[in-house]
Each structure stands twice: as structure tokens, then as C-alpha cells.
């Protein structure tokens, strides 16, 4: 099966409708990762077919659950999940943040080559980064611990905004250790076509009345 067919079938399984131009650009993005991976080691995954399932479809699976005008992808790395989400929703403005300069260089190149008008790259440490416009969704699949994720990014969350943590197994222990003002809104199990193992999206809000 070609990667184009794999992507098309995966989108159908996820219930997502993306036009042919967006699907083409998603595959161009995979080709960019594959090309830069030889020098920059962006991801341990080398096969394009696995990149479609483990990167594209894994990122796009969260799209129906996010309704962001301004989205921050923290620890974006190779642009995951931010670039697929920016391609899937041209109306959302996506900031790709990664403190690693080499990864930021790749992100800038990807934004340019994919003609992503709704994405920008920031190479800063999230804990000390400040911005005038806060974000209504802050997402990451890079943080190993949700408590650290919330602690390091909460100054960037807009009022009534949402943290979105992409996890593998249901993170019961991490949820129990969240700060008292963090309220888990939903824990959504995700089925990713071509990807074995559990995947979950944890949506967390801040209780402004706490304390």
C-alpha cells in the first residue's frame, strides 16, 4: 500500500475529511522529516509508512477534540503534533516551540516549504518564554510528566484555556499528582490506524476559584 493510500484510509478511520491538497502537503512533510532525519536525527522512526501512522495519524487523531484559535505545541521536535494540526485546520494559528536550535531550524524550513501561513516557530525555553497573546490550547506529546507540563506552561494559557496532554497508557498516577487547581475535563482513548498500543488524550483546565 502506498503512503498516500495509507493516509487516505487512516483519515477515513479517524472520521476526518481533508482535501487532496492537504493530504499531499502532509506527505510532503513526511518526506521532509525523512530527508532531514539523516543529519538531524529528528525521530527514531525511519520508514515513511511508520511515519504516516506513528506521526501523522497519531497527531491528527486529536484534531476533532481541539477547538483552538491559538494553539501552542510545546517541545514540538519535528513539528508533532503542531504541523499536522496546522495543515488540518488553516483557521487555527499554531506556534511550534522547541528550545533545540537544530530542531527549530527544521521547523522553520518545514513551515516555509509547506507554505504554512498559520504557523510560526519559536526557539525558547518554555518556562521563561513570554508572549503578549496567550493560547486557548497548549498541547504536547513530548512531556513525560503532566505535572511538569502544566507547571512549565501555565503562564501561557489563556483564561478558560485547556492543556492537552498526549499520552500512551491511561496516566492514572500522573492525574493524581496534578496541582489542586487542575481539573481533568476528559480522558479520551484514541484508536490510531496502524499503531498498536494504547493512546489517550488528557484535557485539563484550571480552576480559577481554587485557592
Structural domains of the chain ordered from first start: 3-206 (3.40.50.150)
Beta strands in the chain (DSSP E): 70-74, 93-97, 119-122, 135-140, 157-167, 182-190, 199-206
Instruction: Say which range, 19-33, 50-64, 163-177, 196-210, has the weakest mean pLDDT.
Output: 196-210
Average pLDDT over residues 147-154: 95
**Residue 38, pLDDT score:** 86
pLDDT digits over 72-81, tens only?
Answer: 999 999 999 9
How is the beta sheet containing 70-74 ordered, strand by strand? 119-122, 93-97, 70-74, 135-140, 157-167, 199-206, 182-190
Cα distance from N-terminal residue to C-terminal residue, the chain: 55
What pLDDT is attached to residue 211?
41
Residues 6 or more apart whose Cβ sits within 8 Å of residue 205:
160, 161, 162, 163, 182, 183, 185
- pLDDT band at residue 89, thresholds of 50, 70 and 90? very high
* Claim: this prediction has a pTM higher than 0.85: yes
| Rounded average pLDDT over 111-126 | 96
Instruction: Determine what percent of the chain is predicted with pLDDT higher than 90.
Output: 89
Residue 209 reports pLDDT greater than 80: no
User: Cell digits for 194?
Assistant: 496502524
Q: What percent of the chain has pLDDT over 70?
A: 98
Dist CA 45 CA 47 (whole Å): 6
pLDDT band at 44 (very low <50, low <70, confident <90, very high): confident
Neighbours of 192 (CB within 10 A): 20
Whether 188 contacts 200, CB under 8 Å = yes
Q: Which carries the bigger pLDDT value, residue 190 or residue 43?
A: 190
pLDDT at res. 157: 97
Q: How confident is the model at residue 101 (pLDDT cuts 50, 70, 90)?
A: very high
Amino acid at each position: 500500500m502506498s503512503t498516500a493510500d495509507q493516509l487516505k484510509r487512516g483519515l477515513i478511520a479517524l472520521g476526518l475529511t481533508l482535501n487532496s491538497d492537504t493530504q499531499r502537503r502532509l506527505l510532503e512533510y513526511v518526506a521532509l522529516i525523512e530527508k532531514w532525519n539523516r543529519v538531524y536525527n529528528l525521530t527514531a522512526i525511519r520508514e515513511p509508512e511508520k511515519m504516516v501512522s506513528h506521526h501523522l495519524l497519531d497527531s491528527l487523531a486529536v484534531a476533532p477534540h481541539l477547538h483552538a484559535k491559538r494553539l501552542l505545541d510545546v517541545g514540538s521536535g519535528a513539528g508533532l503534533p503542531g504541523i499536522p494540526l496546522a495543515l488540518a485546520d488553516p483557521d487555527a494559528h499554531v506556534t511550534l516551540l522547541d528550545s533545540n536550535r537544530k530542531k527549530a531550524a527544521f521547523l522553520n524550513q518545514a513551515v516555509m516549504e509547506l507554505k504554512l501561513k498559520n504557523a510560526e516557530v519559536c526557539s525558547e525555553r518554555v518556562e521563561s518564554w513570554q508572549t503578549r497573546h496567550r493560547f486557548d490550547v497548549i498541547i504536547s506529546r513530548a512531556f513525560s510528566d503532566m505535572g511538569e507540563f502544566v507547571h512549565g506552561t501555565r503562564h501561557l494559557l489563556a483564561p478558560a484555556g485547556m492543556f492537552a496532554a498526549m499520552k500512551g497508557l491511561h496516566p492514572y498516577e500522573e492525574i493524581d499528582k496534578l496541582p489542586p487547581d487542575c481539573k481533568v475535563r476528559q480522558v479520551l482513548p484514541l484508536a490510531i490506524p496502524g499503531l498498536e498500543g494504547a493512546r489517550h488524550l488528557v484535557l485539563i483546565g484550571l480552576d480559577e476559584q481554587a485557592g
